[in-house]
């Protein structure tokens, strides 16, 4: 998934994996808030994150669930219901790829409100792109943009990645690559100036 660290759409509908990856690092989440990023979820994602029955909940999962509840109490990651039209769009999208309702509802809602869709699922990202959605983004893209725009510094990189790993998430290598891309992009923009 190619990203441009110099450009990020700040208003996004997040699918479940993106919610967990953003909230896995309090430092990343605070920097995104300070950069005026806004994330919302669909009712399907809300269900997957907080309501769906689980056989057991790992301590790291409980921490992420508690963080999401806290964010929602302060007005972030607000859940939006899907309309009949949204559900029809989901059905149309579902025929194209085997994805969950969370990803599909997020793509459909993002397209409807003409805002960003953030996911860390390659198939969901590709489907959004193939469907003509111009703002398909990832958590590593957010991270690279925050580095590029100096909202996160070099010293924050290790903190964000360590918090992410500690939360039991699995995109640390992608975050490292995104960091390197941001530095290269920053260097390229300085050379051109």
| Neighbouring residues of 103: CB distance < 8 A, sequence distance ≥ 6 | 15, 16, 119, 121, 123, 124, 127
Model confidence pTM above 0.85 = yes
Do 138 and 118 form a contact (C-beta atoms < 8 A)?
Answer: yes
Domain ranges of the chain: 11-138
User: What are the φ and ψ backbone dihedral angles of 35, each rounded to 5 degrees?
Assistant: -85, 5
Q: Does domain 11-138 have CATH number 3.40.1190.20?
A: no
In DSSP terms, which residues pair with 40 in a beta bridge?
A: 13, 78
Residue 94 CB partners (closer than 8 Å, separation 6+):
104
pLDDT tens sequence for the chain (193 residues)? 678 999 999 999 999 999 999 999 999 999 999 999 999 999 999 999 999 999 999 999 999 999 999 999 999 999 998 776 766 666 666 666 678 888 988 998 999 999 999 999 999 998 888 888 899 999 999 999 999 999 999 999 999 999 999 999 999 999 999 999 999 999 988 766 5
């Amino acid at each position: 998934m190619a990203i441009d660290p110099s450009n990020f759409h700040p208003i996004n509908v997040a699918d479940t994996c993106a919610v967990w990856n953003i909230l896995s690092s309090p430092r990343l989440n605070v920097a995104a808030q300070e950069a005026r990023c806004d994330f919302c979820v669909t009712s399907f994602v809300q269900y997957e994150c907080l309501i769906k029955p689980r056989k057991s909940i790992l301590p790291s999962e409980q921490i992420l669930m508690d963080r999401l509840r806290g964010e929602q109490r302060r007005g972030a990651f607000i859940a939006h219901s899907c309309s009949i039209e949204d559900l029809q769009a989901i059905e149309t999208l579902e025929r194209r790829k085997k994805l969950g309702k969370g990803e599909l509802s997020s793509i459909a809602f993002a397209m409807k409100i003409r805002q960003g869709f953030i996911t860390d699922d390659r198939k969901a990202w590709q489907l959004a792109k193939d469907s003509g959605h111009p703002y398909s983004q990832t958590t590593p893209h957010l991270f690279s943009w925050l580095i590029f725009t100096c909202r996160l510094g070099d010293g924050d990189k290790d903190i964000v990645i360590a918090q992410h790993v500690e939360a039991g998430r699995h995109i640390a290598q992608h975050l490292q690559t995104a960091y390197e891309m941001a530095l290269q992009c920053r260097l390229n923009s300085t050379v051109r100036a």
